[in-house]
Chain A
Amino acid sequence: MTDDLKVTVQRKGDAAVLYTRGYINNLGGEEIASRAYELMDDGIRVLILNLQETKIVNSIGISILIEVIEKMTEKEGRIAFCCLTPVIQKTFQIMGLAQYAKIFPDEASASQELGLPAAS
């Protein structure tokens, strides 16, 4: 579980979904940020972070996610989270992430809300 976080990306037109697997700490957060910034530089303005395979997040990981949200906001894009464990969802709410990025129970509802093509 504490192996480096793995991130996979699925692009859907002008949007993308990032799938994380593992611990969102400093290393994991940086990996997510790096992939997210690449996508933003590539013109992606709608990003869904699917955290289904992530069970732990620490405060440093959270601060990096906030940076990612701020950067996307700066570019007038949108970010949403989906498939959070109850613990992580509560953490995001307390830490204020939920103020700037919507949280959805599943990827389908996130995609629908953000206007992504239906999951293949």
Chain B
Amino acid sequence: MSLPFEPAEWRKIGTDRRRTGTWMQLTATLFDELQAIEKIAPRAASASRRRAETIRDVLARHLSFKRIAVYLDDAQRGELVLAAATNKSGMPEALERLCVVREPESVLEQCDPPAAHVVPLASSKEVLGALILGGGGQEVLDESGRSSLRALGAYLSALLAASRLASEVRDGDFQMRLQMWELESLYDIGLSIASMLDMGQLGDEILVRTMSLVNARRAALYLRQGQRFGLHQALGGARAQFLDDELSADSVRAILEAGEPVAFEKGADCIFPGCETLVAMPIRSSSGEVIGVLAAADREFRDGSVGPFEEGELRLLNRFANQVSIALQNARLHRDALDKQAIERDLELAGSIQSNILPRGLPDTDGYEIAVLHNPARQLGGDYHTFFERDGIISACVADVSGKSVPAAILVSALHAALQLLFHERRPLGEIAEELNRHIHRWSSESKFITFILATIDRRAGEIRYVNAGHNPAFIVLGGKVETLHSHGLPIGILGASRYEAQTRPFPAGSLLALYSDGITEANNVEEEEFGPARLTDILTTNETRSCAEIRDTIRDAVHEFAGEAPQYDDQTVVLVRTSA
């Protein structure tokens, strides 16, 4: 019996060496050892080489061939590659796949010196590799030897096919899990970032998820600033302005106009210095407006190289950008709400300060009855009133600052401070008005002014002195008759050189003075009719005999009833002063 196998152990068996049972036992040992290739981790980068080395080593231990070369299929190269050999010298580095099956003689001739045997390793569908054997006195085999080689080839082919199948199953499983992970990630990301309201934290999470999802090495988030995109956050270093040069103007236009992703295979450097590939994905609001750009760079591959992003990744990134859009809008709305809350807190504080400017109580001076209505339209009002009491004489002031809210409140504060100083300097009313005018004109903006009336009522002298700087006419009511104290100067703050001269009128005991702001007489109803001065004087004369507080309440109720459902646009102030003997 002529065998191609000359196992090392064979020689030790001595007289039993040619017994069929012994040969079968040794062959089974060889086959058992070859099964080690099944245990090699299929995903490892070196798996193919290690399989070949295992085959080489097992064959070298059990066969008498001196030259053993193992070729395995390289899918990327599309040929069989020399993966292991007892001696690579003279062996071709690669073989054509079909050549080992169809033209074995030509394969053998490629070896130097020519080898004796080529054993194709193939399944019914594909060539998986080949063995080239030679030397060791086994150049010529009989039919039995050739059969043994075919059996060895079939066995190895089965092992390699099984390994390949296991690898494909694992790859398939990995891909399926990867797709599941992508879907889960998109879902998770939606939940996670939609609830993130801090823009910094949100930006970080978006970038981390982006890189993870599309295997990018770098990522950046740009937010739109007019016709440009400003860098909000980046991982891996990005330029501050997105595509901020003439060369990339077309790309920016494409993103803004079409909302299409822009993939760069060249010129990616425009966002990430030194990067090789880039995709810029527009982030569109629910109304379709491009509000930002999500950029990812340098898509990684398993072999360590970087390359362009693929169709599936662009689709994934596009879906992710939709969720980023929702999250960004949520965060912005939240930030706006916080800003609004801060403003409201400021307004509340300013309103509190302003309410402290207004008198907390009314002067309790013999011979004077006083009532006040102060009904601001907003937290911060433009109406102002105050009283001074000196030597048993009451002075009352009502002013109305142009504008609303914070600017008006600031001017009210300035008026209050200046008026307090000037009045306590015991200056005449006209001079007080002129000083106020110069002060306000100098320090306030051009469009700001104050209508102002300041009246001093001396009940013992039975007279009233007043300055009316552009304010609504005041009324003196006595015995059903109404005297009007018209304005006799420009409002405070309009013209720095304005002059004001105090006016004097009789004010006998029992006279009722009514100062008010235009929020009373210009209060509108739903038909946009004004309350008007006539209704006010009618109330004053009709209710003249009632207490000031009762008259004030009557005015308040009448205005309220007149306005009905119409909103109050302006502050409403009424100051009533009546003297007694």
Name A's B-contacting residues (CB within 8 A): 1-2, 23, 25-27, 30, 55-60, 63, 66-67, 70-71, 73-74, 87, 90-91, 94-96
Could you say which residues of chain A place their CB within 8 Å of the CB of B40? 74
Q: In chain B between 295 and 309, which residues have their CB closer than 8 angstroms to a CB of chain A?
A: 300-302, 304
B218 to A, closest residue via Cβ: A2
Q: Shortest distance in angstroms between B54's beta carbon and chain A's nearest beta carbon?
A: 12
Could you say which residues of chain A place their CB within 8 Å of the CB of B235? 1-2
Specify which of A56, A63, A87, A91 is in contact with B174 (CB 8 Å cutoff). Answer: A63
* Cβ contact within 8 Å between B304 and A27: yes
Interface assignment of B550: CB less than 8 Å from any CB of chain A? no
Stretch at the interface among B178-186, B252-260, B459-467: B178-186
Stretch at the interface among B41-49, B194-202, B407-415: B41-49
For the complex, give the distance between the alpha carbons of A73 and B170 in Å: 15
For the complex, give the distance between the alpha carbons of A23 and B218 in Å: 10
Specify which of A2, A59, A94 is in contact with B236 (CB 8 Å cutoff). Answer: A2
Q: Shortest distance in angstroms between B53's beta carbon and chain A's nearest beta carbon?
A: 15
Q: Shortest distance in angstroms between A14's beta carbon and chain B's nearest beta carbon?
A: 22
Specify which of B44, B215, B304 is in contact with A58 (CB 8 Å cutoff). Answer: B215
Q: Shortest distance in angstroms between B567's beta carbon and chain A's nearest beta carbon?
A: 51
B185 to A, closest residue via Cβ: A91
Contact with A along B31-59 (1 / 0, CB 8 A): 00000000111111100000000000000
For the complex, give the distance between the alpha carbons of A95 and B174 in Å: 7
Interface assignment of B217: CB less than 8 Å from any CB of chain A? yes
* Cβ contact within 8 Å between A30 and B215: no
* Cβ contact within 8 Å between A63 and B211: no
Could you say which residues of chain A place their CB within 8 Å of the CB of B304? 26-27, 30
For the complex, give the distance between the alpha carbons of A63 and B304 in Å: 13
Name B's A-contacting residues (CB within 8 A): 39-45, 173-174, 177-178, 180-181, 184-185, 188, 192, 208, 211-213, 215-218, 235-236, 300-302, 304
* Cβ contact within 8 Å between A59 and B43: no
Besides A58-B300, A91-B185, 16 new A-B residue pairs in contact (Cβ under 8 A), listed by A number: A2-B218, A2-B235, A23-B211, A23-B217, A26-B302, A27-B304, A55-B208, A56-B211, A56-B212, A59-B178, A63-B43, A63-B174, A66-B43, A70-B43, A70-B44, A74-B41
For the complex, give the distance between the alpha carbons of A91 and B301 in Å: 19
Q: List 18 A-B contacts (CB under 8 A).
A: A2-B236, A25-B211, A26-B302, A26-B304, A30-B304, A58-B300, A60-B301, A67-B43, A67-B45, A70-B42, A87-B192, A90-B184, A90-B188, A91-B185, A94-B180, A95-B174, A95-B181, A96-B173
Q: Shortest distance in angstroms between B294's beta carbon and chain A's nearest beta carbon?
A: 16
For the complex, give the distance between the alpha carbons of A60 and B192 in Å: 23
* Cβ contact within 8 Å between B177 and A95: yes
Q: Tally A-B pairs: CB < 8 A.
A: 76
| Interface SS of chain A | helix
* Cβ contact within 8 Å between A25 and B181: no
* Cβ contact within 8 Å between A60 and B300: yes
Could you say which residues of chain A place their CB within 8 Å of the CB of B188? 87, 90
For the complex, give the distance between the alpha carbons of A2 and B184 in Å: 24
Could you say which residues of chain B place their CB within 8 Å of the CB of A66? 43, 174
Specify which of A1, A25, A73, A91 is in contact with B215 (CB 8 Å cutoff). Answer: A25
* Cβ contact within 8 Å between A94 and B300: no
A69 to B, closest residue via Cβ: B41
* Cβ contact within 8 Å between A95 and B215: no
* Cβ contact within 8 Å between A58 and B181: no
* Cβ contact within 8 Å between B208 and A56: yes
* Cβ contact within 8 Å between B177 and A63: no
Given contact pairs A67-B41, A70-B44, A90-B184, A57 touches B212 in the complex (Cβ within 8 A): yes
Report, nearest first, the 7 A-B pairs whose CB atoms are least far apart.
A70-B41, A2-B236, A94-B181, A26-B300, A58-B215, A67-B43, A95-B177
* Cβ contact within 8 Å between B177 and A96: yes
* Cβ contact within 8 Å between B178 and A71: no
Could you say which residues of chain B place their CB within 8 Å of the CB of A63? 43, 174, 302
Could you say which residues of chain A place their CB within 8 Å of the CB of B213? 58
* Cβ contact within 8 Å between B217 and A71: no
Could you say which residues of chain A place their CB within 8 Å of the CB of B177? 94-96
* Cβ contact within 8 Å between A58 and B211: yes
Q: Shortest distance in angstroms between B182's beta carbon and chain A's nearest beta carbon?
A: 9
Could you say which residues of chain A place their CB within 8 Å of the CB of B39? 74
For the complex, give the distance between the alpha carbons of A25 and B303 in Å: 12
For the complex, give the distance between the alpha carbons of A55 and B44 in Å: 25
Q: Shortest distance in angstroms between A71's beta carbon and chain B's nearest beta carbon?
A: 6
Could you say which residues of chain A place their CB within 8 Å of the CB of B178? 59, 95
B174 to A, closest residue via Cβ: A63
* Cβ contact within 8 Å between A94 and B208: no
For the complex, give the distance between the alpha carbons of A113 and B264 in Å: 49
For the complex, give the distance between the alpha carbons of A27 and B236 in Å: 14
